Amino acid sequence: MIVADACGLVPTRDLVAQPLERMIADCANAMAGGDRLCSLFGRACAGDLLVTAILQQSRHGFAVLRGRAPAGSRYPSLTPQFPAAHLVERELFEQSGLTPDGHPWLKPLRFDGAQQGRMHTYPFFSVRGHDVHEVGVGPIHAGVIEPGHFRFMCHGERVLHLEIQLGYQHRGVETLLLQRPVRSLTPLVECIAGDSSIAYAWGHCTAIEALSGATLAPEAERVRGVALELERIAMHLATLAGLATDIAFLQGGSSYGRLRTAIINASMRSCGSRFGRGWLRPGGVRCGVDDLRRQDLLDTLAAFAHDIAEVNALMLGARSVRSRFRGTGKLSAKAARELGLVGLAARASGVAIDARADLAPMPYAERPLAVLVEEDGDCLARARLRMREIDESVRWLQQLLAAPAGVLADRASLAPIGPLRGDAIAIAMHEGCRGQVLHALETASDGTLLRYKVADPSASNWLGLALAMRDNDISDFPICNKSFDLSYCGNDL
């Protein structure tokens, strides 16, 4: 096992590839000691498969394990002992064909490769018994959202189990990232999950900067923080608008919707795009926050803070809203922890996990943001946590934007990006609106990319939604789904 340095770099020459079983045993030991398995992925190497595990050590920094096995090998699954590993083992199986013996549910994650277009052939879990029936929804849904299929196994209105089938959005992102010139990858990275453009772009930039040894101006990192918190506010608002609409609290829907417009238009005035596209590039930022923009953002946030407080009070003050959300779609802290949930969904179930605090990258290191937690794990907790996180982001932004001139880059600030270091793995993680986004880039000796692994927070969280639905009514699904508000394309890549 090798621990990554402060830049997230691991030299692969020092990384000894153990037999796969041995590596998996080491992985289990590390997990038993409290490490979190963030990603497990393979790549072909001289007829064999090289497997890389990325562990987050007690939430501080990363460690890498490497194993080697002939193609088509089997290994003892980690999942029976650590359910959180179910996802990465399924992914490794789908991408590399390594079979985890004893895995309870080896369902394809995204119907990749030869499985493409064969989603209909997959045998769903089925519940038998008197009066049990199934309801299938999707991939196309009633609203304007991404596609996915939900199969409910019900007894009357009560949902016994929900099986989620994803993969419809699969674009082969990880393959494309290796085929395209490494210098112009950011626009593609920005639409891996396009509502989290900043979180994705930031991780990509951090990894490329680590590999090239670029030194970034802190003023540029602070602008990235501004961009990311604006993105978080905007996406939390989109969720709240959806939640309000789904329970027919239409005034809330309209008001959150128009408040989101105010925030994303402020992003647009700062960088040209309502989604922050083109704002971040390896080396820094393409647009700074000069005095004019600073004042513009401060004015926008001041008006916003006043207006959202009113709408939040109206929404939470309505007994009908509280009654509809309370107790609906409950996920316990134990389940959230065991399944390895991350981000807002985990925090709403009482699990304090947030890369902004745990890894504390610039600018969060110098200006900490409170990690907010709700204990109840129901739709109300997830809605309320979004409101509180918006308030906290606004507070953080107002403080940063009110700092003396010169704290933020006031124009484009791009450190030159030299050749990428060879024989290294760069690991970068940032906390997007749904949770941590992981990038892991491995280079060959000449600095070309051998593997680009992306891990989206939604992939870790979809099973949480399925469990939260158990014993709820099928009519609770829209609000449960919206309260998690997970990304389909983030899972499907």
Partner 1 sequence: MLKAIQVRVSQGTQYIPDPRRADPRGFRGAPLIAAGECATDCHACVDACATQAIELDPLRIDLGRCMLCGDCAAVCPSQRITFDSRYRIAATDRAQLVLSASHPEPDPITVSAALRARFGRSLKLRSVSAGGCNGCELEVNALANVNFDIGRYGIDFVASPRHADGLVVSGPLTRNMAQAVELCWAGMPEPKFVVAVGACAISGSPFDGADTLDRSFLDRIAPTLYVPGCPAHPLTMVCGLLDLLGIRT
> Which stretches of the chain bind partner 1, using CB under 8 A?
110-112, 116-117, 119-120, 139-140, 142-147, 167-172, 175-176, 180-181, 183-188, 190-195, 197, 238, 241, 251, 254-255, 257-258, 261, 265, 268-275, 277-278, 281, 286, 307, 310-311, 314, 317, 412, 487-489, 492
Identity of the residue, 188 or 371, whose beta carbon is nearer to partner 1 in the bound complex: 188
Residue with token string 């969720």: 239
Identity of the residue, 238 or 459, whose beta carbon is nearer to partner 1 in the bound complex: 238
> Are the C-beta atoms of residues 166 and 491 closer than 8 Å to each other?
yes
Identity of the residue, 303 or 402, whose beta carbon is nearer to partner 1 in the bound complex: 303
Three-class DSSP category at 220: helix
- Report which of 448, 459, 445, 454 is spatially closest to residue 487, judged by C-alpha positions: 459
Identity of the residue, 26 or 307, whose beta carbon is nearer to partner 1 in the bound complex: 307
Identity of the residue, 180 or 334, whose beta carbon is nearer to partner 1 in the bound complex: 180
The conformation of residue 141, written as its DSSP 8-state character, comes to: -
Nearest distance in Å: CB 199, partner 1: 13
Distances (CA, A) of 309 to 122, 301, 303, 305, 386: 47, 12, 10, 6, 13
Nearest distance in Å: CB 435, partner 1: 16
Nearest distance in Å: CB 114, partner 1: 11
> Dihedral, CA atoms, 460, 461, 462, 466, nearest 10 degrees?
130
Tokens of 58: 């007690």
- Report which of 398, 368, 385 is spatially closest to residue 304, judged by C-alpha positions: 398
Nearest distance in Å: CB 248, partner 1: 14
Identity of the residue, 144 or 405, whose beta carbon is nearer to partner 1 in the bound complex: 144
Strands (E), 312-388: none
> Dihedral, CA atoms, 175, 177, 181, 183, nearest 10 degrees?
-170
Nearest distance in Å: CB 278, partner 1: 5
Nearest distance in Å: CB 391, partner 1: 17
Separation between Cα atoms, residue 240 and residue 384, nearest integer Å: 9
Three-class DSSP category at 414: strand
Nearest distance in Å: CB 268, partner 1: 5
Separation between Cα atoms, residue 137 and residue 460, nearest integer Å: 22
Identity of the residue, 299 or 375, whose beta carbon is nearer to partner 1 in the bound complex: 299
Nearest distance in Å: CB 372, partner 1: 24
Identity of the residue, 146 or 374, whose beta carbon is nearer to partner 1 in the bound complex: 146
Separation between Cα atoms, residue 48 and residue 84, nearest integer Å: 27
- Report which of 443, 53, 492 is spatially closest to residue 210, judged by C-alpha positions: 443
* Residues present in the chain in total: 493
